[in-house]
Amino acid sequence: MPESFFVLSKDYLELATDEITALAKMYDRFSKIKIISNLVIVQSKTNWNEISERATFVKISGQILRKMSGLFLDEENAGILKNAKSFVCRVINLSSNQFNIPELENSMGDMISKFSHAKVNLENPDITVYLIFTNNENFFGFSKKTKKRIRTKKTKKFPHELDWKLTRVMINLIGLEKGETVCDPFCGTGTTLLEAESMGIHGIGLDFDEKMCEIAKANIKVNGYNSKVIKSEFQELSKISDRFDGIVTDLPYGTSSKTSEKPQEILKKFFVCIPKRKRVAIMYKKEMDFNSKLKGLKKYHIYRHKSLTRTILIK
């Protein structure tokens, strides 16, 4: 079974590793996952690029060719470079050992040049060959040139809008697939809907504030997307539960956006009206967690500044 590697940003490491695990299992439930600090190795029938395209915190990814016992390419591995016009070698050192990285990259490049017609291209190579060192194991892998991800556009910035990365990771943590539908019952500017549609997931947003609905609609339009936005109270979601597969939302904080009542009351009521058998990822201010009674599969705490730590709860 093919193996892929994902080097993750260390900013939100737990979220990042759980996201790769959720995506790998979503594409192939028999995937095997191994986590070595910020390196995740996935054994699965899914191509590395499919997981990487959806994931939020991946810095480098590719396919593993084999575990290394030395720094030598054998004939089988050299075949990967056969049709490539250009390549570059990169060393990823996740071990506590010190290496002379430029020297290693150069000698690896020299070796490849001896049996491949591919030319070294540092900026935009067809193939990147990776040597990955960890404290226990070393890997040899490669990646092909991929298209740059196009970011969704917004017509205007708003103080309470959610960071697209946290939105995307929430969608991925509940494993929503292409063609499924997400509902955001507090959709605000529509960040969830935009992020979902960028991954081929349909969206339905609710917001009680007419102005926010208009902004969300404008943001959807400017990206050429089709999500629906309904001006209504969040409780409406229980009436439309047959129209979506999961909920991803960021609850009001009572600071820069309008609220119908105290945010903590909204959170309590919202919890009661979540339709059964839906996958749910919700974000709220940690202090609103009334005596930790909100139970789910997993909670993540995200520190922003001294008066704001957010909780993401997966249900």
Ligand X SMILES: C[S@@+](CC[C@H](N)C(=O)[O-])C[C@H]1O[C@@H](n2cnc3c(N)ncnc32)[C@H](O)[C@@H]1O
Place of tokens 């309470």: 160
Does residue 171 touch ligand X according to CB under 6 A?
Answer: no
Say whether residue 209 binds ligand X (CB under 6 A): yes
Near ligand X in 214-233, by CB under 6 A: 233
Question: What single-letter amino acid sits at 239?
Answer: K
Q: Is 186 in the site for ligand X (CB under 6 A)?
A: yes
Distance CA 93, CA 109 (A): 17
Strand partners, 107: none
Distance of alpha carbon 34 from alpha carbon 136, whole angstroms: 13
The pair phi, psi for residue 216, each rounded to 5°, is -60, -45
Q: Among residues 125 and 188, whose Cβ is nearest to ligand X?
A: 188
Q: Give, rounded to a whole angstrom, the gap between the first and last alpha carbons of the chain.
A: 31
**CA-to-CA distance for 176 and 210, rounded, in angstroms?**
28
Among 116, 128, 189, 311, binds ligand X (CB under 6 A): 189
Q: Which is nearer to ligand X, 87 or 208 (CB)?
A: 208
Q: Of 174, 212, 282, 313, which one interacts with ligand X (CB under 6 A)?
A: 212
To 5 degrees, how large is the angle CA 240–CA 299–CA 158?
Answer: 65
Smaller CB separation from ligand X, 160 or 299:
160
6 binds ligand X (CB under 6 A): no
Residues 250-289 that bind ligand X (CB under 6 A): 250, 252-253, 257-260, 266
Q: Give whichever of 3 and 195 is closer to ligand X, judged by the CB atom.
A: 195
Question: What CA dihedral angle connects 42, 47, 49 and 55, to 10 degrees?
Answer: -50
Q: Which residues bind ligand X (CB under 6 A)?
A: 160-162, 186, 188-189, 191, 206-209, 212, 233-234, 250, 252-253, 257-260, 266
